[in-house]
């Protein structure tokens, strides 16, 4: 197993020095699922706060841009692209996010942050209808670029 890069030899947390790494094109995609009843799904278009899916899309994009402010040891990354896609499915809302940059470090955390905040936004905008809404399945779908190589989640 690889060593955890965010700890120094004494076991103290540290920000990884990426200055010697080459800049490469990096892309990551992440996923989240918000479970909700058919009754809540039917009322999404009727929400007095606005369209929850559109608000979640904007919230996810904004969150990706703030990742280094939320996760203490993340590097600030100049994002070249962020996207948040939502789709209604039986049982809830599927969220798939993507983030891209050309940099010395990856964008996995930005894609995951976008997915998590988009899901939280959907919860916030629908919680008055049902407190049993759940956020599930927040995970990395894929990443490419960098010394660590490519990763693609195996279908389960």
Q: Which of 8, 45, 124, 130 is catalytic?
A: 124
> 141: which 2 tokens?
């779908």
- Within a 10 A sphere around the Cβ of 14, how many other Cβ atoms? 12
Say which residue the tokens 């899309």 belong to.
57
> 9: which 2 tokens?
């030899």
Active site residue 124: yes
Burial of 80 from C-beta contacts in 10 A (0-12 / 13-18 / 19+): middle
Q: In residues, how long is the chain? A: 156
Residues marked as catalytic? 124
């Amino acid at each position: 197993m690889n060593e955890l890069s965010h700890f120094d030899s004494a076991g103290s947390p540290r920000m990884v020095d990426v200055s010697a790494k080459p800049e490469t094109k990096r892309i990551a995609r992440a996923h989240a699922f918000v479970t909700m009843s058919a009754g809540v799904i039917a009322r999404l278009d009727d929400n007095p706060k606005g369209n929850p899916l559109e608000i979640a899309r904007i919230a996810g994009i904004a969150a990706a841009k703030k990742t280094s402010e939320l996760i203490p040891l993340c590097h600030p990354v100049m994002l070249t692209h962020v996207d948040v896609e939502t789709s209604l499915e039986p049982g809830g809302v599927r969220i798939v996010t993507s983030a891209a940059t050309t940099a010395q470090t990856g964008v996995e955390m930005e894609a995951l942050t976008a997915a998590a905040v988009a899901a939280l936004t959907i919860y916030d905008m629908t919680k008055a209808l049902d407190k049993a809404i759940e956020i599930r399945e927040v995970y990395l779908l894929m990443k490419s670029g960098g010394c660590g190589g490519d990763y693609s989640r195996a279908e389960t």
